[in-house]
Amino acid sequence: MNIQTAVLPPHAEMVRAMLERDTAYEGVFFTAVKTTGIFCRPSCTARKPKPENVEFFAHADECLTAGYRACLRCKPLDAAAIAPDWVQRLLNAVDADPELRWSDAQLLAAGIEPLKLRRWFKQHFGMTFHAWLRTRRLGMALGGIRQGTSIDHAAFDSGYESLSGFRDAFQKSFHITPGRAEQSEPLLFTRLTTPLGPMIAMAERRGLVLLEFLDRPALTGEVEALQSRYGYAVAPGHNAHLQQIEKELTAYFAGKLNVFTVPLHLPGSEFSRQVWAALLQIPYGHTSTYGAIAAGLGKPGASRAVGLANGHNRLSIVVPCHRVIGADGALTGYGGGQPRKAFLLRLENAALQLTQPLAF
């Protein structure tokens, strides 16, 4: 069995999603039109072809291998959430010299159009490149203050010529004053690319705290709660946990990893942590129900509460809330969207079947 073809939804479902331009299926499949030789995202606004002239693929590279060209209107290669080479080179350069200012002139000298860069960062990070760069430097200042660097030195090391300007920018970014930063835990975040669209990962020194699809409606509220309730100061950056989850996600989507080993830190109520611990016990390629989890916790009447805690899970895929289904077998809700939930379950089932010994 080929994992790439096994993860496709049923044919009729893909036809319906294509005809209705259903954005919930972004990254779940691609449409390739035999009569034009072009492949698109499901939500492409171009005139829809007749279903009999379309074939479906799970991945953009399959479309390219089959001889199709990417649509110029919906840009399906961008939809695959792969950071362009020119963006990756810039990010590597920032890592190599985080104090560099990167004026528009320097960007142009590096072959990067500033307006194009601004649009890409707004789309994928929710802020411009220069705003991201400033927040990243402030995150480094936060780390320095926690390690004993004076506020004066942190301000000037971050490129601020006045302490008042540094204090204002610091408080605007982290919702705390520099003086309180010693008691605040830095929560570093980065954007990750996956076949189902971009995700955001956040980690502190103890482990991964958040992993969500960027289009999840509850994401803003989750981040605000981490800041206000748990005292985190959120900033762009990298650490070992973020590097590890990026590698593990790549292996997971390739069907080569069924147990995540990245350290986790799960702030929440005692009951929520019990539910999340139960989710971690659901084997790869298998499912459970809200009722079964409630019974396993010794609270058989708490199915609704289990469902609520399941919905508050901040670690998509890693804490596998997608493996919880209704008592009648229905997929029920999923913060990342039911098409993604179905995709993940098909992916795991296909990979699991490949590892099963053949019966004779």
By the 10 Å C-beta count (0-12 exposed, 13-18 middle, 19+ buried), 58 is classed as: buried
Task: Report the candidate in 270, 253, 252, 269 with the shortest Cα–Cα distance to residue 261.
Answer: 252
By the 10 Å C-beta count (0-12 exposed, 13-18 middle, 19+ buried), 161 is classed as: exposed
Question: What DSSP line would sit under 194-243, residue for residue?
Answer: -TT--EEEEEETTEEEEEEETT-TTHHHHHHHHHHTT-EEEEE---HHHH
Q: What backbone phi and psi angles, to 5 degrees, belong to 258?
A: -120, 0
By the 10 Å C-beta count (0-12 exposed, 13-18 middle, 19+ buried), 149 is classed as: middle
Q: 40, 44, 74, 321: which is the annotated catalytic residue?
A: 321
Specify whether 40 is catalytic.
no
Work out the number of other CB atoms within 10 angstroms of the CB of residue 29: 22
**What would the 3-class secondary structure string for 115-149 be?**
HHHHHHHHHHHCCCHHHHHHHHHHHHHHHHHHCCC
CA distances from 171 to 181, 183, 189 (A): 10, 14, 18
Q: How far is CA 247 from the centre of its chain?
A: 13
Task: Output the CA torsion 156→160→166→172 (10° steps).
Answer: -130
Task: Report the candidate in 56, 50, 53 with the shortest Cα–Cα distance to residue 76.
Answer: 56
Stated as kind and residue range, the H or E segment containing 210 is: strand 207-213
Q: How far is CA 25 from the centre of its chain?
A: 16
Residue 330 has which token pair?
A: 């229905």
- Cα separation, 31 vs 19, in Å, equals 11
Answer for the pair 195, 80: CB distance below 8 angstroms, yes or no.
yes
Catalytic residues: 321
